[in-house]
């Protein structure tokens, strides 16, 4: 541990020997943590390592089974979130706590200490905080209609306005694009200057080096390392978390086959995402197409159209030689579907075993895949779903493991013809994420047409043969992987060349316009 | 009424007849149902019978088992008070030839008696006509009417009501009937009454019991006299009620009981009329002097006329 | 139709709407908090009975208070069984209705046994504002009603203010929309839910007493005649907002009053047609509001499409 | 284990609570509670007739509840059985009388039964189509539309019995003409009103026990929780709404026919007898399992009979005690069901949302309101 000034330790949030057990799961085992004011403290670990649990205990949302906590030496045992807030500890949970029906302003007022609302005063305070944090988010629309990124930032702003001296952020960057992450980290640094302590939970290890001062590594509920972040490379952190990782497999050259899935001039509307405007797209057998774009650019609408869940207003959708397929036709022809919102694809009350066999049972014996009768348990083990117990209810798994379960149902029971995946490794630890990427590559190699949308550009560059960028419901640019650079993609995601280019041809998309400030949305 | 032990045997050896009775509505409705309850209570007090009364038996699906139950317990006389109970009575009576039953119905029921079922009805024409006659004698016009549902017996009664009004006051004007849509919705009835009064009704007539509370309250509120409001509406409402034609089941039930005791029961039908005392009317209320003084005497003249045949209703 | 008739219809509409407004406001709180009270009918009718019973010896105000307490007790029972013990909300709602209907009839029959004249109590006196009350058409409807009618108006304004200006109102909305997030923010969904249910129960009891003490002055079995269920439709029709509920209740009251009094005009239709008219129109309005709400809902999202109106400004 | 003990203790306390309530009520009426309780037991068991009544009372509730299983599994909360029974009964009565009118005396009984049952089912299903369409096309909440339609059906029945289906006889209660002898269902237990239609509940129960294991049942279950996933399984919102409402409507319609042909042999105003609410309550009490529903329906019917027994034994207790005891028991049983379900680690009973499936957009996408609820209940990491 680095030496700290007595002033800093004087205000530090300290937890000692914290333990927490859920049924048979030891989520935390004798964990210590010291969060210093004015620093960013990164908390990393595999899925299910106990990060969120520790954070919730610090924020008073859950009570520890054992252990003590102090703030500046004084005992700290919050019995609920309000008590923690009163001591200056605030949290933005992994699952955002904004009420979608209410605006940010109302979310703020929701737990104000006064019985009568003072909207004007609250608005002034929040605007002021926004200004200081240099963010522009609408305070008065229902937060449901904000993008994920804005909700994330908005919730952070609300927490700040509530007067946090210790702010805990649980995976704030999991669904943010590179611009947004950059902006967020600037804010965090600015906050630290002002003396706020920040606990940052993340799976993106490069972020640790980029922003954190201290780092604590959890593994299986135990603290396996803590110390200054500067001394640690992402590789080292990864090794601490999960042991040695095999390097990502070399990209094998893939030759695309026939077009399997095709959209032509498709327009479609969505009430949660951008509408599609004349989107044309082909996915060929054996290739991986990456879709980049900031949140709310229409990726969800695109995925829904491809999966048959949204009926387009215009244009044609075709799989093989079948026009206007319904969702069930697509399933029968082997379209695997990994939605962005994993809860869309899982029924919490179904057991893991029933979840895996859902398609066979529900669509009847004429199942989509000639399925080798592998038993559920071995599928679960293959995909490292923990615990691999087919009789458990799906709703009982941790977020990361639910994702693995979903992927194992979609990819694990046969060889799909098409794979549609949006953020397939969102919220997964390194090893699990790598395993899923390998599955996607394997699917492509065995002839599947794969379409992956992700906010993680790194991931797309690693996987894809071709990258499309979506902006405002259109395909704004398209490049073969060899021509892609982060800068080009970043500019296209911000819409900087979309106005002039109505074609998706890579040359025009990249060369036509000089960005002006007026093009900024 | 005191609690009773149903006699185990069908023989009226002790001289006290056991009676099982069913009413379609609540026995404290101040009207049709209560007429039977009052008669039974009085006969029990006189030591002639012990009885059990089942209320709210309008649904034949519910009443038939109760009737069968009475019969299999060996009750001497089973009274199905109300047209809703007619079919159930006949159907059970077939299986229990030794038990005495009474069934009620429309005018045609008088011919339907069997060896162990006597039939009973009341003279709808007299109820309607006398009510209308009283309403006419008040000389109040126009007259509003609030009823529950558009059912046969209600429309039949109403037709005679109109005759009665015309006989007593040919110039009286009648507003169309308003149906409250339910037997119980007193508030809708009150609203209808207020509305009729707002349209100029000087007197309101009703035959319902649940809704009478609403008619009575609204009329009392506006100080408008009523005809036909039952005691179920409460004191307040009765203060503006000129009169109500009531059933008196005492003479009828007493006759049945005596026949059972004497072993002569069966094979006839009986109808309650003003003449035989099965129908009565409440003493005329002058509603603070707003009602002409001669109403009572004219009503008595009418009844005398009906008795000696000089007046007939068709 | 004459102006007198319309005046009568309006005045009747307001009387008929009053209990619906009161119970509807209560249910508005309950449903806003994401709960459902199918026991309103039972709470109303037991309130209606208790009100007369208590008023008969302790006076009007005591009757109203007793009715509210009755609804409160039933709501507390419902809260215990459904939200503490985990029983099914619909089954328990139906059970409470059954209990209320049965108990009110049972106690009434014991209280006023056969052979007695029903007990009646004085109803709340009607207002008479002289000139104002004499205004044609709207005078009697607006200025000649019982104080309970104006009480309902005050309640509606109060409910509106609670949702608009208080933290409690905000918490109710949050708990109904998303209890998990609300709890994460530090709101206690169970506590808020229980409070709304108690409000709903008390107002349902009060609504029942408004029928007996406001216009009839006496109790008779089944006097609420299904109004507790109509309240549910009105609350949805009114989109769970106090203003919407008040309008919905007035609409239903108007339809009922109209279909009663239209019978006394020259237009003679089958009486059953008149009787089902308010329900049929309510259904149609429900269809229209559902549709409009749907469109509004979609429209709002189209207008504030994510990624278009808002933009992140990286520092 | 401790959950089970707790369950039993709660069941015990329900019995105690009912006994206490009944005792207090009986004492209030000035009667002897012990006599009353003996009457309660005698009311259900003392004679074959009473046992027959138990069955007759259970039939409509059980069939309505059983045929509600798919709808409730899909999250479609209908209380429309009331109106559907009415329409089934009107159709069945009209078809039976019409057949008799056309072909005279000679029509054999089974022909009548088939005609009655089919037209009953058609009538009920047709009347269920309307709320299904309103929900599918216009997003009208089904609880409310069925509630309002019940009033409309009752009005239509009243008019029907006063006009085109009215009996020629002079009657006070509105009723249809008597059905032909041959169309009536024969007795199951001689000397009681239990007719062979009672056996139909066994058939229906077996049918739904089988259905429960089909892939369609799974799909409908998935639809209730994850409409988009269900779309991939071929289950659309429209198909679910129409399918489940038609099944429950047809079931209620058959009940209408059974009540007419089996019990009353003519059509009365009271044919539906509150079965909409009690059917829903029984289906939920029976945990949507056919076996549980049969038990719950018998239990419900027994309460009615038992309360009559109390009145019979004491003589002075008003019959409305039946409703009070039913309410208390229903409350208690619901509580026990809740507690045992909870300690059995199952999910707590789902609160039936008034903005239920109606808030799923036409193409099966949850609207934000629905999405936020589902997102709210899952951990999204
Ligand atoms: N409420 C709960 N009930 C039961 N088990 C729980 C609960 N919360 C967490 N767990 C278990 O505790 C362990 C730690 O969970 P936690 O959410 O803290 O992990 P995490 O490190 O945040 O993982 P992830 O990266 O997937 O979000 C996991 O095994 C999880 O399944
Ligand atoms: N806190 C929340 N409360 C309610 N609903 C939420 C919340 N967070 C997300 N959702 C729901 O999750 C879904 C996805 O969110 P949204 O469409 O705004 O972002 P996105 O396009 O998926 O991009 P990204 O995931 O990168 O932020 C929406 O249906 C939204 O209603
Ligand atoms: Mg976590
Ligand atoms: Mg998202």
pLDDT tens digits for range D274-330:
888 888 888 887 888 999 999 989 988 887 778 777 877 777 788 788 788 878 888
Residue A412: per-residue pLDDT: 78
Q: Do D323 and C95 touch (CB under 8 A)?
A: no
Q: Is residue C300 over pLDDT 80?
A: no
Q: Which of C24, C225, A155, A463 is nearest to B181 (CA)?
A: C225
- Banded model confidence at residue A244, pLDDT cuts 50, 70, 90: low
Q: Is D377's pLDDT higher than 50? A: no
- Contact between C302 and A271 using a beta-carbon 8 Å cutoff: yes
Pairing state of beta strands B269-272 and B241-243? unpaired
Model confidence at C307: pLDDT above 50: no
Counting Cα atoms < 13 Å in the Cβ hemisphere of C239 gives 14
Look at residue A2 and tell me whether its pLDDT is greater than 50: no
Q: Looking at residue C253, what is its pLDDT?
A: 95
Preceding peptide of D177 cis, ω within 30°: no
pLDDT tens string C89-131: 888 998 999 999 999 999 998 898 876 778 888 888 877 666 7
- Tell me how close the Cα of C20 comes to any Cα of chain B, in angstroms: 12
Query: Which residues touch D155 (CB under 8 Å, ≥6 apart)?
Result: C272, C273, C275, C276, C279
DSSP string of B229-266, one letter each residue: --GGG-HHHHTTEEE-EEE--HHHHHHHHHHHHHT---
Asked if the model's pLDDT at residue B1 lies above 70, the reply is no
Residues 6+ apart with CB under 8 A from C262: C1, C274
Q: What integer pLDDT is reported at residue D58 of this predicted model? A: 92
Contact C313 A147 (CB under 8 A): no
φ and ψ at residue B243, rounded to 5 degrees: -170, 160
Give the per-residue pLDDT at A10.
59
pLDDT band of residue C293 (cuts 50, 70, 90) is: low
Q: Could you tell me the two tokens for D159?
A: 């008019």
Per-residue model confidence (pLDDT) at position A296: 75
As to burial, measured by CB atoms within 10 angstroms (0-12 exposed, 13-18 middle, 19+ buried), residue C147 is middle
Cβ-count burial of B8 within 10 angstroms (0-12 exposed, 13-18 middle, 19+ buried)?
exposed
Distance CA C23, CA C210 (A): 10
Q: CA nearest D237: which of D146, D371, D363?
A: D363
Spatial separation of the C-alpha atoms in residues A177 and A189, rounded to whole Å: 18
Distance A56 CA to ligand 3 centre (A): 10
Of A471-485, C82-96, C225-239, D319-333, the one with minimum mean pLDDT is D319-333
Residue D238 pLDDT grade (very low, low, confident, very high; cuts 50, 70, 90): very high
Sorted by sequence, the CB contacts under 8 Å of residue A235 that are 6+ apart come out as none
Which pair of structure tokens corresponds to residue D315?
């003589």
**D45 near B CB under 8 A:** no
- Check CB contact under 8 Å for C308 and A472: yes
pLDDT of residue C266: 73
Cα C307 to ligand 3 centre (Å)? 27
For residues D322 and D308, is the Cβ–Cβ distance under 8 A? yes
Residue whose Cα lies nearest atom 11 of ligand 2: it is: D372
Residue C161 has pLDDT above 80, yes or no: yes
Distances (CA, A) of D247 to B266, D67, D119: 50, 6, 14
Chain segment C54-65, per-residue pLDDT in tens: 999 999 999 999
Average pLDDT, chain D: 82
Query: What value does the mean pLDDT take over residues A417-429?
Result: 88
Q: Quick check: CB of A425 below 6 Å from ligand 1? A: no
- Give the mean model confidence (pLDDT) for residues D131-144: 89
Please tell me the distance in Å from B253's CA to the nearest CA on chain D: 19
Alpha-carbon gap, residue B93 to B103, rounded angstroms? 10
User: Which is it for strands B17-22 and A335-338: parallel, antiparallel or unpaired?
Assistant: unpaired
D308 near B CB under 8 A: yes
**How would you classify the pairing of strands B269-272 and B117-122?**
parallel
pLDDT-wise least confident of A190-204, A245-259, A424-438, B180-194: A245-259
**pLDDT grade for A249, boundaries at 50, 70 and 90:** low
Cα B89 to chain centroid distance, Å, stands at: 19
Say yes or no to pLDDT of D120 above 80. yes
Q: pLDDT digits over B118-159, tens only?
A: 999 999 899 999 999 999 999 999 999 999 988 888 898 999
**Mean pLDDT across chain C, nearest whole number?**
86
- The confidence band for C132, taking pLDDT boundaries of 50, 70 and 90, is low
Q: How far is the CA of A144 from the centre of ligand 2 (A)?
A: 7
> B27 touching C, CB under 8 A?
yes
pLDDT at A275 over 50: yes
B34 contact partners, CB below 8 Å, separation of at least 6: B27, B28, B231, B232, C114, C115
For residues A194 and D125, which has the higher predicted lDDT (pLDDT)?
D125
Does residue A131 carry a pLDDT above 70?
yes
Q: What is the residue-wise DSSP string for C34-69?
A: T---TTHHHHHHHHHHHHHHHHHHH-HHHHHHHHHH
Predicted confidence at residue A242, as pLDDT, reads 66
Q: Do D378 and A171 touch (CB under 8 A)?
A: no
CA distance B240 to chain C (A): 14
Contact A111 C187 (CB under 8 A): yes
Question: In this structure, what are the phi and psi dihedrals at residue A265, rounded to the nearest 5 degrees?
Answer: 45, 45
Per the CB < 8 A criterion, the answer to whether D359 and D373 are in contact is: no
- Residue range A15-35: average pLDDT? 89
Residues 6+ apart with CB under 8 A from C161: none
DSSP helix/strand/coil, A191: helix
Average pLDDT over residues C202-231: 93
**Mean pLDDT of all residues in D221-235:** 89
**Given this model, what pLDDT does residue B134 score?**
95
**Considering CB atoms only, which of D53, D173, D305 is closest to B83?**
D173
Residue A515 scores a pLDDT above 70: no
Distance CA D16, CA D3 (A): 20
SS3 A496: coil
Closest CA to A79 of A96, A95, A54, A57: A57
Q: Within 13 Å, how many C-alpha atoms sit on residue C178's CB side?
A: 28
What's the mean pLDDT in A491-504?
A: 57
- A167-211 pLDDT, tens digit per residue, is 999 888 776 667 777 777 887 888 888 888 999 998 888 888 888
- Of the candidates A476, A105, A41, A119, which has an alpha carbon nearest to the alpha carbon of residue A298? A476
Residue B223, classed as helix, strand or coil, is coil
How much is the average pLDDT of A57-71? 93
The pLDDT assigned to D151 comes to 94
| ipTM of the shown complex | 0.80
Q: What is the 3-state secondary structure (H, E, C) of chain D?
A: CHHHHHHHHHHHHHHHHHHHHHHHHHHHCCCCHHHHHHHHHHHHHCCHHHHHHHHHHHHHHHHHHHHCHHHHHCCCCCCCHHHHHHHHHHHHHHHHHHHHHHHHHHCCHHHHHHHHHHHHHHHHHHHHHHHHHHHHHHCCCHHHHHHHHHHHHHHHHHHHHHCCCCCCCCCCCCECCCCCHHHCCCECCCCCCCEHHHHHHHHHHHHHHHHCCCHHHHHHHHHHHCHHHHHHCCCCHHHHHHHHHHHHHHHHHHHHHHHHHHHHCCCECCCCCCHHHHHHHHHHHCCCCHHHHHHHHHHHHHHHHHHHHHHHHHCCCCCCHHHHHHHHHHHHHHHHHHHHHHHCCCCCCCCCCCCCHHHECCCCCECHHHHHHHHHHCCCC
Of B149, B190, B213, the CB nearest to C118: B213
Contact B80, B117 (CB under 8 A): no
Average pLDDT of chain B is 88
Dihedral Cα A502, A504, A507, A508, nearest 10 deg: 0
Confidence at C292, pLDDT banded by 50, 70, 90: low
D70: nearest Cα among D132, D115, D139: D132
Over residues D332-341, the mean pLDDT reads 80
Residue C274, classified by CB atoms within 10 Å of its CB into exposed (0-12), middle (13-18) or buried (19+), is buried
B-proximal residues of D, 158-187, CB under 8 Å: 158, 162, 169-174
A328 neighbors A273 (Cβ within 8 angstroms) = no
Q: pLDDT tens-digit profile of B183-216? A: 889 999 999 999 999 889 999 999 977 889 999 9
Contact partners, residue A120, CB within 8 Å, separation at least 6: none
**A with B: touching (≥3 Cβ pairs within 8 Å):** no
Q: Mind telling me how many Å the CA of B94 is from chain C's nearest CA?
A: 32
- Point out the ligand nearest to the CA of residue A300: 2
Q: Which residue has the higher pLDDT, A174 or A313?
A: A313
Sign of the dihedral through C-alpha D116, D117, D118, D121: positive
Tokens describing residue C106 = 């049972």
Partner C contacted by D164 (CB < 8 A): no
pLDDT of residue C295: 58
Q: Which residue has the higher pLDDT, D286 or C258?
A: C258
Ligand number, closest to the Cα atom of A428: 1
Q: Which of the residue ranges A21-25, B93-97, C80-84 would you say has the lowest mean pLDDT?
A: A21-25
Query: What are the tokens at A49?
Result: 């390592």
Structure tokens at C125: 């006196």
What gap in Å lies between CA D315 and CA A298, rounded to an integer? 74
- pLDDT (0 to 100) of residue D167: 85
Residues whose CB falls within 8 Å of the CB of residue D15, separated by 6 or more in sequence, listed in order: none
> Any idea what DSSP says for residue A183?
H
What's the rounded Cα separation, in Å, for the pair A446 and A449?
A: 9
Q: What integer pLDDT is reported at residue A243 of this predicted model?
A: 63
Is C90 close to D367, i.e. CB distance below 8 A?
no
The pair of three-digit structure tokens given for residue A420, joined into one six-digit string = 């549609």
CA–CA separation, D263 vs D270, rounded Å? Answer: 12
Nearest to B182 by CA among B149, B146, B230, B229: B149
Name the burial class of residue D343, with classes exposed (0-12), middle (13-18) and buried (19+) by CB atoms within 10 angstroms of its CB: middle
Give me A265's structure tokens. 């001039």
Q: Exposed, middle or buried, A475 (CB in 10 Å: 0-12/13-18/19+)?
A: buried
pLDDT digits 0-9 by tens, B272-282:
999 888 999 99
**A174 C-beta closer than 6 A to ligand 2:** no
Residue C53 pLDDT level (bands cut at 50, 70, 90): very high
Instruction: Report the range of poorest mean pLDDT among A46-55, A294-303, A464-473, D338-347.
Output: D338-347
Cis peptide before D34 (omega within 30 of 0): no
Q: What is the pLDDT of residues D255-274, one digit of tens each?
A: 999 999 988 888 988 888 88
Contact assessment for residue B259 and residue B232, using Cβ atoms and an 8 Å cutoff: no
Average pLDDT over residues A491-495: 78
Query: Burial level of A355, CB count in 10 A (0-12/13-18/19+)?
Result: buried
Which one is predicted more confidently, A80 or B5? A80
pLDDT class of C197 with cuts at 50, 70, 90: very high
């Amino acid at each position: 541990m680095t030496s700290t000034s007595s002033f800093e330790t004087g205000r530090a949030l300290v937890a000692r020997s914290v333990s927490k057990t859920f049924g048979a799961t030891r989520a935390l085992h004798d964990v210590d943590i010291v969060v210093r004011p004015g620093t960013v403290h990164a908390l990393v670990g595999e899925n299910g390592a106990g990060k969120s649990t520790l954070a919730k205990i610090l924020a008073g949302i859950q009570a520890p089974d054992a252990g003590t906590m102090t703030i500046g030496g004084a005992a700290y045992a919050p019995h609920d979130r309000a008590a923690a807030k009163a001591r200056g500890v605030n949290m933005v949970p992994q699952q955002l706590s904004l009420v979608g029906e209410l605006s940010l302003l109302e979310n703020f007022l929701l737990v104000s200490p006064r019985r009568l609302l003072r909207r004007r005063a609250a608005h002034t305070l929040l605007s002021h905080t926004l200004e200081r944090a240099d963010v522009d988010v609408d305070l008065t629309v229902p937060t449901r209609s904000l993008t994920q990124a804005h909700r994330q930032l908005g919730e952070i702003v609300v927490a700040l306005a509530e007067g946090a001296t210790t702010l805990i952020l649980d995976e704030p960057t999991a669904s943010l694009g590179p611009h947004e992450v950059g902006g967020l980290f600037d804010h965090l640094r600015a906050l630290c200057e002002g003396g706020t302590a920040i606990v940052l939970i993340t799976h993106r290890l490069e972020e640790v080096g980029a922003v954190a001062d201290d780092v604590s590594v959890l593994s299986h509920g135990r603290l396996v390392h803590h110390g200054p972040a500067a001394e640690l490379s992402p590789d080292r952190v990864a090794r601490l978390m999960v042991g040695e990782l095999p390097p990502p497999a070399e990209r094998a050259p893939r030759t695309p086959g026939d077009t399997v899935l095709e959209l032509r001039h498709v327009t479609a509307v969505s009430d949660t995402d951008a509408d599609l405007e004349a989107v044309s797209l082909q996915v060929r057998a054996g290739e991986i197409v990456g879709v980049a774009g900031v949140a709310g650019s229409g990726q969800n609408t695109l995925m829904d159209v491809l999966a048959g869940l949204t009926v387009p207003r215009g244009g044609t959708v075709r799989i093989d030689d079948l026009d206007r397929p319904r969702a069930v036709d697509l399933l029968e022809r082997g379209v695997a579907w990994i939605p962005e919102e994993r809860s869309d694809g899982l029924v919490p009350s179904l057991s893991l075993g029933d979840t895996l066999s859902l398609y066979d049972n529900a669509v009847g014996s004429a199942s989509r895949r000639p399925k080798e009768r592998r038993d559920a348990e071995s599928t679960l083990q293959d995909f490292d779903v923990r615990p691999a117990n087919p009789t458990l209810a799906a709703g009982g798994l941790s977020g990361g493991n639910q994702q693995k379960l979903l992927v194992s149902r979609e990819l694990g029971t046969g060889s799909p013809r098409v794979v549609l995946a949006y953020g397939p490794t969102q919220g997964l630890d390194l090893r699990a994420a790598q395993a899923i990427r390998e599955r996607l590559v394997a699917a492509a190699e065995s002839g599947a047409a794969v379409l992956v949308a992700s906010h993680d550009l790194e991931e797309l560059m690693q996987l894809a043969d071709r990258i499309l960028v979506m902006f405002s419901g259109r395909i704004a640019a398209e490049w073969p992987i060899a021509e892609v650079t982060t800068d080009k993609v970043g500019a296209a995601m911000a819409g900087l060349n979309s106005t002039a280019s109505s074609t998706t041809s890579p040359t025009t998309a990249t060369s036509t316009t000089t960005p002006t400030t007026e093009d900024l949305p | 009424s005191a609690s009773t032990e149903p006699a185990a045997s069908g023989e009226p050896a002790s001289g006290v007849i056991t009676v099982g009775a069913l009413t379609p509505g609540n026995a404290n409705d101040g009207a049709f149902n209560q007429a039977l309850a009052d008669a039974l209570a009085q006969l029990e007090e006189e030591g002639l019978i012990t009885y059990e009364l089942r209320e709210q038996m309008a649904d034949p699906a519910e009443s038939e088992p109760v009737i069968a139950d009475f019969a299999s317990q060996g009750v001497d006389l089973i009274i199905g008070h109300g047209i809703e109970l007619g079919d159930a009575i006949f159907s059970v009576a077939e299986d229990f030839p030794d038990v005495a039953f009474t069934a009620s119905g429309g005018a045609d029921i008088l011919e339907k008696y069997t060896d162990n079922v006597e039939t009973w009805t009341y003279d709808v024409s007299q109820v309607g006509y006398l009510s209308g006659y009283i309403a006419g004698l008040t000389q109040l016009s126009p007259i509003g009417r609030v009823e529950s549902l558009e059912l046969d017996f209600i429309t039949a009664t109403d037709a005679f009501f109109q005759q009665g009004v015309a006989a007593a006051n040919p110039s009286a004007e009648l507003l169309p009937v308003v149906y409250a849509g339910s037997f119980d919705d007193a508030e809708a009835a009150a609203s209808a009454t207020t509305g009729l009064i707002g349209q100029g009704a000087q007197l309101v007539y009703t035959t319902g019991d649940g809704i009478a509370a609403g008619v009575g309250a609204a009329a009392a509120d506006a100080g408008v006299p009523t005809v036909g409001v039952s005691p179920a509406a409460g004191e307040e409402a009765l203060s503006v009620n000129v009169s109500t034609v009531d059933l008196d089941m005492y003479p009828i039930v007493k006759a049945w009981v005596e026949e059972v005791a004497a072993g002569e029961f069966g094979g006839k039908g009986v109808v309650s009329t003003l003449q035989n005392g099965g129908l009565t009317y409440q003493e005329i209320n002058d509603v603070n002097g707003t009602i002409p003084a001669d109403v009572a005497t004219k009503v008595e003249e009418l009844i005398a006329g009906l008795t000696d045949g000089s007046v007939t209703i068709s | 139709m004459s102006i007198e008739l319309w005046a009568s219809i309006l005045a009747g509409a307001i009387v008929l709407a009053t209990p619906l407004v009161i119970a509807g406001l209560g249910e508005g709180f309950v449903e806003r908090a994401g709960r459902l009270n199918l026991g309103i009918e039972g709470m109303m009718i037991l309130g209606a009975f208790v009100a007369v019973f208590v008023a008969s010896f302790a006076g009007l105000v005591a009757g109203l208070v007793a009715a509210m307490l009755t609804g409160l007790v039933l709501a507390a029972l419902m809260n215990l069984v459904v939200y503490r013990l985990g029983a099914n909300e619909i089954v328990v709602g139906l059970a409470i209705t059954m209990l209320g209907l049965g108990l009110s009839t049972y106690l009434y029959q014991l209280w006023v046994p056969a052979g007695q004249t029903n007990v009646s109590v004085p109803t709340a006196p009607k207002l008479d504002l002289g000139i104002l009350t004499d205004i044609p058409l709207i005078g009697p409807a607006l200025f000649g009603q019982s104080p309970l009618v104006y009480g309902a108006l005050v309640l509606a304004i109060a409910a509106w203010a609670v949702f608009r200006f208080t933290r409690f109102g905000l918490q109710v909305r949050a708990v109904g929309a998303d209890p998990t997030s609300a709890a994460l923010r530090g709101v206690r969904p169970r506590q808020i839910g229980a409070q709304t249910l108690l409000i709903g129960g008390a107002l349902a009891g009060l609504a029942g007493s408004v029928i007996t003490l406001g216009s009839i002055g006496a109790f008779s079995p089944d006097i609420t005649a299904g109004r507790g269920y109509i309240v549910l439709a009105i609350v949805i029709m009114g989109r769970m907002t106090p203003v919407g509920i008040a309008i919905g209740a007035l609409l239903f009251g108007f339809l009922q009053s109209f279909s009663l009094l239209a019978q006394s005009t020259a237009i003679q239709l089958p009486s059953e047609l008149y009787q089902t008219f308010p329900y049929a129109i309510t259904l149609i309005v429900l269809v229209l509001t559902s549709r409009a709400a749907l469109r509004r809902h979609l429209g709002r999202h189209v207008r504030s499409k994510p990624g278009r109106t808002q933009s992140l400004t990286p520092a | 284990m401790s959950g089970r003990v707790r369950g039993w203790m709660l069941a015990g306390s329900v019995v105690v609570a009912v006994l206490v309530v009944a005792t207090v009520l009986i004492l209030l009426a000035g009667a002897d509670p012990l006599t009353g309780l003996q009457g309660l037991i005698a009311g259900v068991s003392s004679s074959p007739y009473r046992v027959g009544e138990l069955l007759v009372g259970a039939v409509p509730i059980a069939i309505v509840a059983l045929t509600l299983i798919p709808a409730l599994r899909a999250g479609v909360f209908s209380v429309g059985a009331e109106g559907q029974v009415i329409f089934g009964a009107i159709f069945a009565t009209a078809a039976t009388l019409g057949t008799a009118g056309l072909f005279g005396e000679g029509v054999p009984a089974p022909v009548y039964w088939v005609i009655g049952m089919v037209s009953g089912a058609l009538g009920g299903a047709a009347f269920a189509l309307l709320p299904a369409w309103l929900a599918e096309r216009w997003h009208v909440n089904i609880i409310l539309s069925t509630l309002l339609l019940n009033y409309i059906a009752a009005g239509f029945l009243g008019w029907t019995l006063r006009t085109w289906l009215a009996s020629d006889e002079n009657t006070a209660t509105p009723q249809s003409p008597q059905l032909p002898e041959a169309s009536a269902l024969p007795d199951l237990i001689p000397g009681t009103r239990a007719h062979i239609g009672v056996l139909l509940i066994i058939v229906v129960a077996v049918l739904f026990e089988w259905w429960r294991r089909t892939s369609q049942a799974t799909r409908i279950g998935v639809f209730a929780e994850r409409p988009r996933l269900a779309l991939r399984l071929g289950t659309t919102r429209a198909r679910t709404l129409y399918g489940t409402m038609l099944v429950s409507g047809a079931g209620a319609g058959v009940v209408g026919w059974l009540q007419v042909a089996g019990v009353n042999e003519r059509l009365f105003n009271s044919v539906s007898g509150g079965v909409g609410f009690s059917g829903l309550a029984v289906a939920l009490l029976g945990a949507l399992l056919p076996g549980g529903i049969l038990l719950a329906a018998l239990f419900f019917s027994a309460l009615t009979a038992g309360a009559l027994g109390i009145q019979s034994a004491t003589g002075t207790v008003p019959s409305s005690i039946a409703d009070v005891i039913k309410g208390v028991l229903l409350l208690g049983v619901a509580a026990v069901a809740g507690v045992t379900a909870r300690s059995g680690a199952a999910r707590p009973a789902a609160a039936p949302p008034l903005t239920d499936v109606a808030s799923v957009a036409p193409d099966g996408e949850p609207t934000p309101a629905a999405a936020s609820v589902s997102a709210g209940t899952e951990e999204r990491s």
